[in-house]
Structure 1
Amino acid sequence: MSAQPGGPYGPLIPVPDLNPDALRAAVAKIAPSRLPALTQHLFEATTNAQQTQSLAPLRAFVHSWAVFIAIERHPERAARLRELERIVDAGEQDPAKAIDEIRQIRRAAEAEAGL
């Protein structure tokens, strides 16, 4: 794991390495309720990789969970993303600005994770 600067209070955890064990350890610290989903996704990715003889499913697993962790390790950013998703899901207002901000959050998370 490498340290990265965060918001005014800093991130909850350092940026993990991009491998299943490090991602699992990070999720266990910041969102333990998501461990079953991570385990299931890893099982499916491994099975698909074997069946297709491709690393693409494993790369997708790493990408997905690295972005999740990069977002969730900053509670303010995670809360803002959930609020933006609620705005889009509610359909009560034009979602264009919310969607744009969601994209910005995800791009920042990808960069932070080294993707």
Structure 2
Amino acid sequence: VDFPGKTACCGFPIVTINEKASLKMVGNHTSTAKDLGASAMVTPCPLCHLNLDQYQDRAAWMMEREIDLPIIHVPQLVGLALGLDPEELKINKHVISTKKLLTEISLKP
């Protein structure tokens, strides 16, 4: 999916200063990606991964819609491509479930 917000800030830097604005950014990023057909979002930044995964449920509640978009960190994606077990990569520890995504790419959740 060609995501128009791929270089936009995820909102992590302002989460402690203006949580509502940060949640809005999380909601906008994840819902836009989902609406464009994304099955997941991959991020190279660990803070983006944290923010987009950890706060997505609260952002969805604030937006009054379901988002449920798994967030994968680049090293986890590389690990999957190399054949590492998803549990070894701690993908099962994400806030937003990755089970459906792992099933779609033929890996056991």
TM over 0.5: same fold? Answer: no
Flag the structure with larger Rg: 1
Please identify which structure carries the higher strand content.
Answer: 2
Q: Structure 2 length normalisation: TM-score?
A: 0.30
